[in-house]
């Protein structure tokens, strides 16, 4: 897919991204990950594809402000927790208001995880699931762009680490879109600095509560 095909096939994604970017311009604790974050890097190696939705993590402190502004723009709110999602029963019972989906006609889905952004000793710690935390160096948070739309995301190396972690854990259980995931891995690998990635592997932390989970074997370098 070339850039013009990408624009045509992702017109709704780009419009929704503009809406969200305009709303959150002055809010620093926002991370756009997923396919949009990936493409902000892989556009540098001319890798484009159809994007389904926008995956975002936002500071819980912004929740009311973001929700109010999206609703003012005509978006409706639901949850993106599905039965196939890991820990779905727990999430539906205790945390459905944190895992939000915003949608409207002529837009793509905007999925936002609202969670506290905790900074300590040069690191950012965020709760992905109840009591399940990820911790990364603050220096890995970057401003990036997709076709001129600016937003905050992760460095290519940290995003690759996230992809590796999910691919080598939940990805072994959920077999959907294997070909797409493989192509994404290959393209993103072409964007990373290998030596920088080796450092990130050592600094990327996952904990349950404050108990560290060994994940180094899940972050090994591979393009598959």
For 140-164, how does the pLDDT look when each residue is reduced to its tens digit (9 = 90+)? 999 999 999 999 999 999 999 888 8
Query: φ and ψ at 66, to 5 degrees?
Result: -65, -45
Q: pLDDT value at position 172?
A: 55
Rounded mean pLDDT, 187-215: 87
In the chain, the domains with their CATH numbers are: 3-219 (3.30.460.40)
Confidence of residue 224 (pLDDT cuts 50, 70, 90): very low
pLDDT over threshold 70, residue 76: yes
Nearest to 40 by CA among 152, 173, 121: 152
Q: Is the pLDDT of residue 57 over 90?
A: yes
If pLDDT is split at 50, 70 and 90, which confidence band does 81 have? low
pLDDT computed for residue 106 by the predictor: 83
Residues 6+ apart with CB under 8 A from 83: none
Instruction: Tell which residue, 150, 184, 152, 159, has the closest CA to residue 48.
Output: 184
pLDDT over 90 (residue 170): no
Helix residue ranges, H only, the chain: 3-9, 11-23, 34-42, 63-72, 88-94, 156-167, 178-189, 194-203
Strand, coil or helix: 197: helix
Residue predicted with more confidence, 115 or 175: 115
**What was the pLDDT predicted at 86?**
57
* Best CA proximity match to 8, nearest among 118, 138, 154, 147: 147
Average pLDDT in the 101-108 region? 89
């Amino acid at each position: 897919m070339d850039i013009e095909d990408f624009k045509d096939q992702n017109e709704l994604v780009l419009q929704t991204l503009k809406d969200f970017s305009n709303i959150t311009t002055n809010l620093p604790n926002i991370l756009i990950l997923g396919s949009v974050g990936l493409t902000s890097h892989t556009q540098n190696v001319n890798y484009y594809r159809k994007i389904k939705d926008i995956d975002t993590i936002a500071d819980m402190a912004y929740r009311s402000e973001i929700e109010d502004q999206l609703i003012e723009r005509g978006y409706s709110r639901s949850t993106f927790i599905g039965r196939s999602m890991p820990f779905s029963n727990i999430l539906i019972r205790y945390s459905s208001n944190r895992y939000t989906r915003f949608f409207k006609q002529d837009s793509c889905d905007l999925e936002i995880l609202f969670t506290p952004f905790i900074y300590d000793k040069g690191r950012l710690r965020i709760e992905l699931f109840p009591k399940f935390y990820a911790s990364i160096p603050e220096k890995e948070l970057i401003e990036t762009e997709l076709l001129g739309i600016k937003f905050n995301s992760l460095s290519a190396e940290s995003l690759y680490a996230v992809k590796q972690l999910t691919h080598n854990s939940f990805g072994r259980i959920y077999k959907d879109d294997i070909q797409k995931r493989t192509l994404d891995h290959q393209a993103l690998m072409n964007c990373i600095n290998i030596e920088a990635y080796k450092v990130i592997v050592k600094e990327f932390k996952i904990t349950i509560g404050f108990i560290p989970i060994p994940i180094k074997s899940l972050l090994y370098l591979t393009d598959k």
